[in-house]
Structure 1
Amino acid sequence: MRLRTTSTQRTYRYVRLVLVGASVLLAVSVAVQFVVGGPLSSLSAAYYSPAGPVFVGSLFAVAAALVALSGRSLEQGLLDVAAVLALVVAVVPTTVDGDACPAGGRCVPPEVVPTVANNAVSVASVVVLGAVAAAILARVQGTASRGVAITIGVILALVVGGALWAASSPQGFLLAAHTVAAVAFFALVGAVAALAARRPPSPGRRPRGVRVAYAVVAGGILLTLVLLLVALVLEGTAVVDLRGFPVVLVGEAAALLLFLVFWVVQTVELWDDVDPRLGPGIPAASSR
């Protein structure tokens, strides 16, 4: 028996599948690099390897899909902000050890800096244009709300803040922007999962296992970020000796897996939804 679906329903199905596919694509590319080219210090270090184009492309796909799911609920606003952070993670690479780095520390290689500058300016410009366009569309479509205004304001603040940071302290920006954006991105995904877990179930829908899965994802991301932070702070001290253990790689891999689990659960849960909303219980008027 063929089930009837609307084009909008199919579109939102495919958008969520893109998020799942982009996560798997990144994981496979890093795994291939691990087998063929040797281990990486982190998933983010894939930027400098043959897996680099897939790393950047996957994050751009994730960002586009998150924006496509946008609306006026709190979860969707958080994911819009997460989309911008994903772009930062993509175009501002993590630091690496190198002979060109001052005092033998870590840095973004000097030969890569022009690429970072070009990509960052391009992304920032398009994000600003997108925010302005979103404000105009919300006004024209009658979907303007405080939530939409706050989301656009936060996104513009991120762009302006990032630009001021890069202009006032270029080296500081290159050293920390990637890490800050990555941590904030996963924290927002964890917050969305926590909100999804707390959302009351609709009558006759949403088995308890779905809420448990969301809660596990939220708790897992929080625990991963905390443990990663603690490990990095204590690494090499008398308390914790993690020399030779890929702390960042394991932490990022765990976060990526939880991100994948979240979207698999969300895709399965909302597969038959006619209304293209992020989750059950959100009024239809909240979707664009």
Structure 2
Amino acid sequence: MRIRTTSTQRTYRYVRLAIIGATVFLAVGVGVQIAGGGVLPSVSAAYYTPAGPVFIGALTAIALALLALSGRSLEQGLLDIAAVLALVVAYVPTTVAAGVCPSVARCVPPEVQATVANNAVSVAVIVVVGVVAAIVLARVQGTATPGVFLTAGIVLALTAALATWGTAAPESFLAAAHEVAAVAFFLAIAGVAALAAWRPQPRGAPRRGVRTAYGVVAAAILLTLALLVAGVVLGVDERGFPVVFVGEAVALALFAVFWLIQTIELWNQPDPSLRE
């Protein structure tokens, strides 16, 4: 029997599928690059390869999809913050090893820095415009809540902090902003997965297995980040093991798994306006 759906429900289904598709898109682009050029030091290093446009495009699509999804209070706020962090990861690249840096071991190549500056300003401006538009729409639609204003304030504060960092200490910003944003992004996703594991559901909903899956994903992301940081601190990558690449790849896989599980769970969720 054909199940009747609404336009809003179909839209959110497609947005969720778009997140999974963008993650697969990124994986394919990086995989093709590895097949032709060898293992990368990190997934983020794809920025400097022919897979660079795929890397930037996939993360931009993920950021837009995260912003488009409706959520539940704290989950929504974390997704909005994760979207901003995804844009930072996409447009402020990771550093590269010695050979292109005049006086330091790792850096963003000088010939790329003008592009990064342009991208950073563009991202900051569009985030601020987006926050203002979101507040105006929330007031017009009658959906403004303290949570909406709190999230808007956090996003603006985060943007201001990054802009101040980039202006006051550009070398430090270029050296660390990408990594800080990437870790914060996955921490936000782990938080969303943890909240999904414990949020209340209607009586009779098949939640036990799904709750366990969310909890496992959240714990696995945290463990992956901890092992990644430990590996970098201990210099494991210097011994020939691509710890950063493996850590980022596993974290991205867990990100895709989370969205796949949630997409399946919420596939038949009715429009919020129809719940009552």
1:258 maps onto 2:232 in alignment: no
Give, in angstroms, the shift of residue 142 of structure 1: 1.0
Q: Partner of 2:11 in structure 1? A: 11
What is the 5 A alignment of 1:27-176?
27-71=27-71, 73-176=73-176
Give, in angstroms, the shift of residue 284 of structure 1: 5.4
What letter corresponds to residue 274 of structure 1 in structure 2?
P
Q: Partner of 1:243 in structure 2? A: 239
What is the distance in 2 between the residues matched to 1:104 and 1:192? 37
Give, in angstroms, the shift of residue 140 of structure 1: 1.0
What is the distance in 2 between the residues matched to 1:45 and 1:276? 40
Q: Partner of 2:219 in structure 1? A: 219
What is the distance in 2 between the residues matched to 1:232 and 1:195? 29
What letter corresponds to residue 209 of structure 2 in structure 1?
G
Cα 1:225–1:276, aligned 2, differ >3 Å: closer, same or farther? farther
What is the distance in 1 between the residues matched to 2:233 and 2:238? 11
More helix by share: 2
Identical aligned residues as a percent: 65
Q: Partner of 1:274 in structure 2? A: 270
SS at match of 1:103: coil
What letter corresponds to residue 85 of structure 1 in structure 2?
L
What letter corresponds to residue 227 of structure 1 in structure 2?
L
Q: How many residues align?
A: 276
What is the distance in 2 between the residues matched to 1:104 and 1:183? 23
State the superposition RMSD in angstroms.
Answer: 1.7
1:21 maps onto 2:17 in alignment: no
Cα deviation 1:222-249 (Å, max 9, x = unaligned) = 001111111111226xxxx861000000
What is the distance in 1 between the residues matched to 2:84 and 2:197? 24
SS at match of 2:40: coil
Check the 8 A contact 2:86/2:185 in 1, yes or no.
Answer: yes
SS at match of 2:110: coil
Q: Partner of 2:205 in structure 1? A: 205
**After TM superposition, where is structure 1 displaced by more than 4 Å over at least 4 residues in a row?**
none
What letter corresponds to residue 132 of structure 1 in structure 2?
V
Check the 8 A contact 2:6/2:271 in 1, yes or no.
Answer: no
Give, in angstroms, the shift of residue 71 of structure 1: 4.7
What is the distance in 1 between the residues matched to 2:175 and 2:190? 25
SS at match of 2:143: coil
What is the distance in 2 between the residues matched to 1:84 and 1:206? 33
Cα 1:95–1:276, aligned 2, differ >3 Å: closer, same or farther? farther
What letter corresponds to residue 164 of structure 2 in structure 1?
L
TM-score by length of 1: 0.92
Cα deviation 1:156-194 (Å, max 9, x = unaligned) = 011111111011100000000000000000000000000
Greater alpha carbon shift after TM alignment, 1-10 vs 81-90: 1-10
Check the 8 A contact 1:13/1:271 in 2, yes or no.
Answer: yes
Q: Partner of 1:280 in structure 2? A: none
Give, in angstroms, the shift of residue 267 of structure 1: 0.4
Greater alpha carbon shift after TM alignment, 48-57 vs 138-147: 138-147
What letter corresponds to residue 66 of structure 1 in structure 2?
L
TM-score by length of 2: 0.96
